[in-house]
Amino acid sequence: MSDTAPCRICGGEVPVRERAWAHHLCDRVCTDVSRSGLRVLRGNRKRGAGQMRIRHLLMVMDRLEDAPEGEWVFASTLSEMLDVGLTSVITAMRLMDPLWVETDYGRRDGRQAMRYRLLARPDSLRDLLGGERIDKARSVFL
């Protein structure tokens, strides 16, 4: 096992610590970003009324990574897992790069529902959201 792992937000190198595998964040700036709402991705530090936080996106990334290859995960499943509204999940998932996350409609409980699956395994949110968004978010806290 290597002594470093990628930062979950920006992809930078982080020393591996026992029991902290889920919280690999490289510095205080990435920690502040992880605690913020989605508005910070646009460079806006002010708190909005939205329920989704960057840490929720990290949990979504984990859930999609844990799904067997090719398996779809429904938006309602993510909403229940995160305890946030379905609309908030769908809005947040629109931020994901289509090169990494595939979106489709499928049937669940007899109704049409949004579903997602990873096309490749990301190292960080920088991969899923794009470097420009992460740089904007980090610049708010510098």
Using pLDDT thresholds of 50, 70 and 90, give the confidence band for residue 23.
Answer: low
Q: Nearest Cα to 57, choosing from 103, 125, 142?
A: 125
> Residue 119: what are its φ and ψ, rounded to 5°?
-95, -25
For residues 40-63, average pLDDT: 82
Q: With 60 as the cut, is the pLDDT of residue 55 above it?
A: yes
Task: Convert the pLDDT of each residue in 80-118 to its tens digit.
Answer: 999 999 998 998 999 999 999 999 999 988 889 999 999
Q: Residue 114 in 3-state DSSP?
A: strand
Q: What is the mean pLDDT of residues 38-60?
A: 81
- Asked whether the predicted pLDDT for residue 46 surpasses 80, the reply is no
Residue with tokens 């929720």: 56
Band (pLDDT 50/70/90 cuts) for residue 72 is very high
Return d(Cα 114, Cα 109) in angstroms, integer.
12
Task: Please state which CATH number belongs to domain 4-140.
Answer: 1.10.10.10
Higher pLDDT residue, 51 or 60?
Answer: 60
Where are the domains positioned within the chain?
4-140
